[in-house]
Amino acid sequence: MKKKFVTGVLMAGAMALVLSGCSSTSSTTTAGATTAAAGKVITVGFAQTGSESGWRAANTESMKTAFSEANGFKLVFNAADNKPEAQIAAVHSFINQKVDAIVIAAVVTTGWDDVLKEAQAAKIPVILEDRTIDADPSLYAAWFGDDFNKEGKTAGEWVVKTFGSTPTNMVVLEGTTGSSAATDRTTGFNAAIKGSGIVQLASQTGDFTRAGGKTVMEGFLQKYGKTIQLLFAQNDDMGLGAIDAIEAAGLKPGVDIKIVTIDATKDGMTALSVGKINYIVECQPLLGDQVAKTVKDVLAGKTVEKMQYGVDGAFDQAQALAALPTRKY
Amino acid sequence: MTSWLKNLMKKRIMWPVGALVVLILVNVLYRPSFLKITVLDGRFYGSLMDILRNSAPLMLVSLGMCLVIATRGIDLSVGSQMAISGAVALTIISHSPTPNSLATVLGAIGVGVLITLLFGIWNGFLVALLGIQPIIATLVLWLAGRGIALLITGGFITTINSAPYKTIAQGNVLGFPVEFLIGLAAIIVVVLLVRRTALGVLTEAIGINPAASRLAGVRSRGIIWSLYGLSGLLAGVAGILYSSNIMAADSNAAGNGIELDAILAVVLGGTSLAGGKFTLGGTVVGVFIIQTLASTVTFLGVPSANVSVFKAAVVIVVVVSQAPMVRNWFGRQFRSSKTASPTATPVAMERTAA
């Protein structure tokens, strides 16, 4: 009996450990809220997805900078560790704290109606960042993010410009199957290369990771060898993994196999600057300033565009060399 | 002839080996170049070499998992531990002024692996001493471990340039990939450790009947404890291999989901999750099945959306073919027909193709 009790206590201890493991990442960094009226400080609750990638880290950094006290904001930040229920709880707590505006980078697209209606009843405007949701558009003021379809299209346009109607063998490293980033980039890219001389030999998911890109590219190289002339990797990380595989196969990345990727992370840009990648389309994580402006406009009662896209650039080798020294992420 | 085959059929390991052979055959039929191995820049190059090389991290993790499972346990934290060792080693190297010195690299690896060894010992402490259910005890680190790794790398992917570190997964010795040789060395060390000492027998005794083995004087606590430590150590080395392969500490992706692949490899190899008798040879074959399956997906050009279904179908066929009832049925079929030799091969192949 006593032994059982001891085990029970320890189990509870282990559970507490597990729980604190979650809460440490989802804890709010700034508690308490000041009203907008007092001192004109705008209190904004930001519900971030978590910290699943370098892109996300840069995005969080950008938001924190844009919503700084120097800019007249008080930011209540929450990272939900990619757990939808934790994120909804965070938004609830923002409403209870009576923040002036709520910004959400939604973990999942569904399940938002109730909490958004609650925010609406409390007259707190909601601005979505990065990811879209399946809810009535009247429940949020605006959405701000990247246009994945256009990113794919820009990559495709470069391919058409470079190879024209010359028959060219291409392989594709797709992102995580089912993610909007992967699906939309594929759609945009395929639309752009329609009618060109590009022949798609194979397309396989590399899960947006370096190791995934490397392994799948090894397989492509074993199967098609030197006939591959072009690689479209749907993010930098997979492209960087593929470069390793291409070099191991005794070929020169960027020369024997031309490479186009999307993201423009620092590592990707470095590879581009030395000619191992030929072209990178940007997927801008530094959305903070534009989101902050939208928040101010909404609170000032101005009408804002419902769907707003970040400005994504694109880089070739010379532009990468110029951009690298100031690249933050 | 028949008795020779019959004896072979009785051997448990023949079933996973058969599955592996069928999988390779499918690839070869589709494209004979699958088996081709050429010499490129003084090293062997080909699909099979890729499979041997890429299977090393899963191999290390699965060997540890096999022993833990034999004690009626399970270690869910291996993937997170891989992320930790990679994050630690690369953070040390990236902050070092001499990333290309062998001493720095060895030191970084030492610290990374030592930390996962300690985490493994922590798991063992929870299971062996406190008597917490293994699935709960290791779930703690499964959750927290990746968070620790992300904390170390600050949420970013840490990249390094270090020639000695690159050699671990991308170098070659006598034409063979170093990564594969490390996997091979791990197999040899673990097999010697388990089968040349009493450890293997004692582990099986604990798994078959913990109470009886304790009454018989087996120090089960110490053995279980050290096996979790070993699992942590092997996961740590696997994390080093993973990060060396891409020269980056990708804390989100490193070892993500590998605990399930390892459990699958152990089960495919013919070791029961109920503990007790285990087969390291079977586990090795199980790892090769999983890795070959991953290559097959790319080689056959299975569309991304269908990859999971394709893998599931193959796994189901292999698992079902190992079920005692199915094996007995095959045995009977075999005995009744005296002319041909209908092994499991054609049937399994049909199902895979369908």
Residue B284 lies in a domain: no
Domain that holds residue B270: 47-278
Q: Are A177 and B310 contacting, i.e. CB atoms less than 8 angstroms apart?
A: no
- Do the Cβ atoms of A222 and B246 come within 8 Å? no
Do B195 and B64 fall into the same domain? yes
Do A302 and A235 fall into the same domain? no
Tokens 């890219």 map to which residue? A189
Select the residue of B31, B139, B253 nearest A209 (Cβ to Cβ): B253
Do A208 and A133 fall into the same domain? no
Q: How many domains does chain A have?
A: 2
- Inter-chain contacts counted by CB atoms under 8 A, chains A and B: 119
Residue B41 lies in a domain: no
Cα separation, A206 vs B170, whole angstroms: 19
| pLDDT beneath 50: ranges in chain B | 339-354
Cβ neighbours, 10 Å, residue A76: 23
Its ipTM equals 0.84
What angle (nearest 5°) sits at the alpha carbon of residue A218, between those of residues B27 and B48? Answer: 45
Question: What amino acid is encoded at B331 in this protein?
Answer: G
Residue A157 lies in a domain: yes
Residue of A nearest to B156 (CA): A54
A106-165 residues touching B, CB cutoff 8 A: none
Do A189 and A126 fall into the same domain? no
- Do the Cβ atoms of A250 and B41 come within 8 Å? yes
A47-76 residues touching B, CB cutoff 8 A: 51-54, 56-57, 60
Element of type H or E holding A153: helix A148-163
- Do the Cβ atoms of B143 and A18 come within 8 Å? yes
Question: Choosing among B41, B152, B300, B304, which should be mutated to test the A contact, i.e. which has the most A CBs within 10 A?
Answer: B304
B30-59 residues touching A, CB cutoff 8 A: 31, 33-34, 40-41, 45-47, 50, 54
Residues of A in contact with B132 (CB under 8 A): 7, 10-11, 14
B112-151 residues touching A, CB cutoff 8 A: 126, 130-132, 136-137, 139-140, 143-144, 147, 150
| pLDDT beneath 50: ranges in chain A | 1-3, 5-38
Residue B81 lies in a domain: yes
Do B151 and B185 fall into the same domain? yes
pLDDT of residue A28: 41
pLDDT of residue B10: 65
Residue B201 lies in a domain: yes
Do B220 and B338 fall into the same domain? no
Work out the minimum CA distance from B44 to partner chain A, whole angstroms: 11
Q: How many domains does chain B have?
A: 2
Do B30 and B60 fall into the same domain? no
Coil vs helix vs strand at A48: strand
Do A303 and A189 fall into the same domain? no
pLDDT of residue A312: 84
* Mean pLDDT value across chain A: 85
**How distant is the alpha carbon of residue B138 from its chain centre?**
18
Q: Which residues pair with A200 in a beta bridge?
A: A170
pLDDT of residue A34: 40
* Helices A236-248/B220-246 angle, 10° precision: 90
- The set of residues, in sequence order, having a beta carbon less than 8 Å from that of B54 and lying 6+ positions away, is A215, A218, B179, B291, B294, B295
The closest of A162, A159, A180 to A172, measured between CA atoms, is A159
Q: How many residues does chain A have?
A: 329
- Do the Cβ atoms of B298 and A174 come within 8 Å? no
- Do the Cβ atoms of B253 and A267 come within 8 Å? no
B55-94 residues touching A, CB cutoff 8 A: none
**How distant is the alpha carbon of residue A225 from its chain centre?**
33
pLDDT of residue A44: 94
Do A279 and A152 fall into the same domain? yes
Do A250 and A217 fall into the same domain? yes
Both tokens assigned to A48 = 């971030």
Flag whether residue A205 sits within 8 Å of chain B, measured between CB atoms. Answer: yes
Residue-wise pLDDT tens digits, B189-233:
999 999 999 999 999 999 999 889 989 988 999 999 999 999 999
Residue A323 lies in a domain: no
**How distant is the alpha carbon of residue B67 from its chain centre?**
12
β A73-79/A101-104 pair status: unpaired
Do A153 and A279 fall into the same domain? yes
Do A127 and A159 fall into the same domain? no
Select the residue of B140, B157, B254 nearest A18 (Cβ to Cβ): B140
Question: Choosing among B45, B51, B157, which should be mutated to test the A contact, i.e. which has the most A CBs within 10 A?
Answer: B157
> CB burial class (10 A; 0-12, 13-18, 19+) of residue B244?
buried
- Do the Cβ atoms of A7 and B253 come within 8 Å? no
Do A107 and A227 fall into the same domain? no
What strand order describes the sheet that includes A42-48?
A73-79, A42-48, A101-104, A126-129, A142-145, A307-309
Q: Are B277 and B204 contacting, i.e. CB atoms less than 8 angstroms apart?
A: yes
Residue A320 lies in a domain: no
Q: Are A141 and A309 contacting, i.e. CB atoms less than 8 angstroms apart?
A: no
Do B173 and B54 fall into the same domain? yes
Per-residue HEC secondary structure of chain B comes to CHHHHHHHHHCCCHHHHHHHHHHHHHHHHHCHHHHCCEEECCEEECHHHHHHHHCHHHHHHHHHHHHHHHCCCCCCCHHHHHHHHHHHHHHHHHHCCCCCCHHHHHHHHHHHHHHHHHHHHHHHHHHHHCCCCHHHHHHHHHHHHHHHHHHHHCCCCEECCCHHHHHHHHCEECCEEHHHHHHHHHHHHHHHHHHCCCHHHHHHHHHHCHHHHHHCCCCHHHHHHHHHHHHHHHHHHHHHHHHHHHCEECCCCCCCCHHHHHHHHHHHCCCCCCCCCCCHHHHHHHHHHHHHHHHHHHHHCCCHHHHHHHHHHHHHHHHHHHCHHHHHHHHHHHHHCCCCCCCCHHHHHHHHHC
β A101-104/A126-129 pair status: parallel
Q: Are B78 and B258 contacting, i.e. CB atoms less than 8 angstroms apart?
A: yes
Do A100 and A66 fall into the same domain? yes
Cα separation, A275 vs A2, whole angstroms: 69
Do A141 and A241 fall into the same domain? no
Question: What amino acid is encoded at A267 in this protein?
Answer: D
Residue B290 lies in a domain: no
Gyration radius of chain B over CA positions? 21
Do B220 and B164 fall into the same domain? yes
Domain that holds residue A185: 148-283
Cα separation, B19 vs B26, whole angstroms: 11
Q: What is the CATH number of the domain that holds A193?
A: 3.40.50.2300
